[in-house]
Structure 1
Amino acid sequence: MNPKPAGKKWSALSELFTVSAKLGLTSFGGPVAHLGYFHEEYVVRRRWLGERDYADLVALCQFLPGPSSSQVGIGVGLLRAGLLGGVTAWLGFTLPSVVALVVFAYLIQGWGIAEAGWVHGLKLVAVAIVAQAVWGMSQKLAAGPSRGAIALGTAAAALLWQTAFSQALLIALAGMIGVVLYKNRSEAPVAAPPVTVSPSIAIACLALFALLLAGLPLAVQWGAPEGIRLFDSFYRSGSLVFGGGHVVLPLLEREVVPAGWVTKEQFLAGYGAAQAVPGPLFTFAAYLGAVAGGLTGALIATAAIFLPAFLLVVGALPFWSAWRGNPRIQGALIGVNAAVVGILLAALYQPIWVGAVSRPVDVALVLLMYGMLTLWKLPPWVVVLVGAAGGALAG
């Protein structure tokens, strides 16, 4: 599939924004569910991509760090209408939840969250949601003795060694272990998605990704203003996340809570609220940015956390076939994915469990909501409502 001709590009962009905004308003359930909605809309209903093209695009986005469902949406936009199409698709899918969470940030500051029982219930929702994510991811990414050992070792190290760079180093170490242990595993070669960007643009995007990742911390050390500091924290968090939106939680917590931008109570309450809105979980950054710096902070945080996803998708499309066929890269990814489970397991204890559960009634509510998610398969927004109501009643 090739991009639309220049004369039809604006109509294509308008249609792309409308369709992606509809998905942003209705896509509940997390990244796996989002991919199902995308398949129904983009492949089955509108036939913008073929089955194989869509499968290859999903594989590419799972290979990259960042929010996989948002990256797939960006990729669809790139294939449909070029670079501007990627931005348009991202904006449509992201904007509804950004607006909802920014409004929530203003309301929760005005109400005063310290005494609110329903807000405590939202923190308990976060415990149940992340517990479900840990269990589900462990079944796929940390099955077997060696991958399980990587996950447990990473969890222990993440709890005992808590620094700004510890998680990135643990992920890198797990990747090196994966190269050694799994380098002989390989998958059947696959075709790349249709390339819509030139190699030179792709290389420029990858270079900009690396330049910002290395240069922003240096700028902060040299006394950069508050806006640059905020951009750096969210950009690094968006650059180092493998495994989906829940894994960004510990990275963000270590960036915004020690810096004094957000209290632990505000952080956990916002994370619980983020489960109730459709769209990508990375829009949690909009809430945090709004608490830290108002509307300007929300815009900075949102742009910063999603920018790596855009740069990586654009940069990787022309080279995907060669990368995916490399057995060393495949082995590294197996190790990295197992480490991701360990990092999320550590986050389940600290800060989530420690910050939310202190009474028997809290444990009972968490068990109830966990059962609603895993046994009765209720949607997350229902669980959020139950958690808020339970917290208010127990308050």
Structure 2
Amino acid sequence: MTFSIKSVLEVFLAFLKLGLTSFGGPVAHIGYFRAEFVDNRQWLDDESFLNLVVFCQFLPGPASSKVGIALGLRRAGWLGALAAWVGFTMPSAVALIAFALGAKQWTSLASSGAVHGLKIAAVAVVAQAVWTMGKAFCPDRMRVGLAVFAALVVWAVPGSVGQFGAIALGAVVGRWALRLDHLKPIAQHDYGVSKRTGALLLGAFAVLLVALPAIAASTGSFVIAAFTAMYQAGGLVFGGGHLVLPLLHAGVVPPGWVGNDAFLAGYGAAQAVPGPLFTFAAYLGTVMPSPLGGWAGGLLLLAAIFMPGFLLVVGALPFWEVLRQHVGVRQAAAGINAAVVGLLASALVDPVWTSAVHSVADAAMAVAAFVLLVAFKVSPVAVVGLAAVCGWLVL
């Protein structure tokens, strides 16, 4: 399977736009992705998109970035996967590296009115995703109930344990309780990755996860040790986003590589930039002592934290495409789809709504943005820009 440079450039520009405008964390990013690639560009349908989201939920690493890599691979092959990652990741990575190098004028950005407006826009984008996906994937009482119960599970058991519990519940209920009549055959999409290549990539992930700590311990190399800390954080955390912060803190603060104050300052700056929170690794690499530090250190640790997710997504996709053809798997996937709607609904309340809406005016802005998206079909980018301007004017 061959892809043109034009299709690779198309992927890069699409994800660059998202990398510059997608605020709100991984859940909001999924909403932005859906609006861009299902509604706007029509690269795939709702079912195929949510199928990728479900697939990526089962893999460790940055949640939204894994979906982006899979979309890029689907659209334009290996170079498309790389283009999607670069386009979505580099805006926030560059911003955080610049912040680490001393861009003092950005220190108040996290509390600015414009960024507050962007957080409110994320509320509307996620609400639109819950509304649209709920109608598509919760068509009966059982699946509506499953979505509600999944939301309650995530609320009662926060973190990755609750998320996986809700998804597992969806799979069990879907497999044994849902009866999907008149199932249409689904086409097996060729991502251009053979099972042999996929197995090699999965093997490489496992070997690096085991070998890197041993190499770091035997050589005493600071660079390898720092690379290992980022690789482990990217390869062991499910759900991405804020869940990676404890591992990052444990990896760089106790050894004395980064001071606690510097760590917290970087985390605050990471809240004020779009794109994946995993780009926080670029900030950490930039502020670390020699021989890391600067642009080179930032880019090295950025690559380290995203490498596991890249290997896992590309390596597992050819096996997933075969597995999802079976009727039992499709029944389980239908249950998982309903559970994911519940997860999105739970995240819409906390942390998306709770972190953005603090007043009646905030709530009014969020509702207005939602109406613009759903009723008037206004572009999400335009809604994001309008929300930023309104936030800047009001605060």
Q: With the length of structure 2 as denominator, give the TM-score of the two structures.
A: 0.69
Query: Which blocks of at least 5 consecutive residues in structure 2 are unaligned?
Result: 22-31, 58-65, 218-223, 250-262, 287-297
Query: What pairs with 1:1-395 in structure 2 (closer than 5 Å)?
Result: 3=1, 17-25=8-16, 30-31=33-34, 33-34=36-37, 61=52, 64-65=55-56, 67-68=66-67, 70-78=69-77, 86=78, 88-106=79-97, 110=104, 111-113=106-108, 114-182=110-178, 185=181, 187-190=183-186, 192-193=188-189, 197-205=193-201, 211=206, 225=225, 227-236=227-236, 251-256=240-245, 266=269, 268-270=271-273, 273-274=274-275, 284-285=276-277, 287-294=279-286, 295-296=298-299, 297-316=301-320, 320=322, 323-395=323-395
The answer to whether the Cα contact below 8 Å between 1:235 and 1:306 also exists between their aligned partners in 2 is no
For the structure 1 residues 355 and 102, does the alpha-carbon distance in structure 2 shift closer, same or farther, using more than 3 Å as the test? same
SS in 2 for 1:301: helix
SS in 1 for 2:183: coil
Whole-Å Cα distance in 2 between the matches of residues 55 and 94 of structure 1? 22
Q: With the length of structure 1 as denominator, give the TM-score of the two structures.
A: 0.69
2:94 partner amino acid: V
Post-superposition shift, 1:331? Answer: 1.0
- The farther-off stretch of 375-384 and 192-201 is 192-201
SS in 2 for 1:105: helix
SS in 2 for 1:147: helix
2:352 partner amino acid: I
Q: Deviations over 1:162-191 (max 9, x none)?
A: 144321232122211111112665623345
SS in 2 for 1:187: coil
Whole-Å Cα distance in 1 between the matches of residues 41 and 125 of structure 2? 23
SS in 1 for 2:56: coil
SS in 2 for 1:189: coil
The answer to whether the Cα contact below 8 Å between 1:175 and 1:333 also exists between their aligned partners in 2 is yes
For the structure 1 residues 201 and 369, does the alpha-carbon distance in structure 2 shift closer, same or farther, using more than 3 Å as the test? same
Whole-Å Cα distance in 2 between the matches of residues 312 and 265 of structure 1? 34
The aligned counterpart of 2:290 is: none
1:180 partner amino acid: W
Indicate the percent of aligned positions where both proteins have the same amino acid. 21
SS in 2 for 1:358: coil
For the structure 1 residues 290 and 370, does the alpha-carbon distance in structure 2 shift closer, same or farther, using more than 3 Å as the test? farther
Post-superposition shift, 1:363? Answer: 1.2
Whole-Å Cα distance in 1 between the matches of residues 242 and 383 of structure 2? 23
2:84 partner amino acid: F
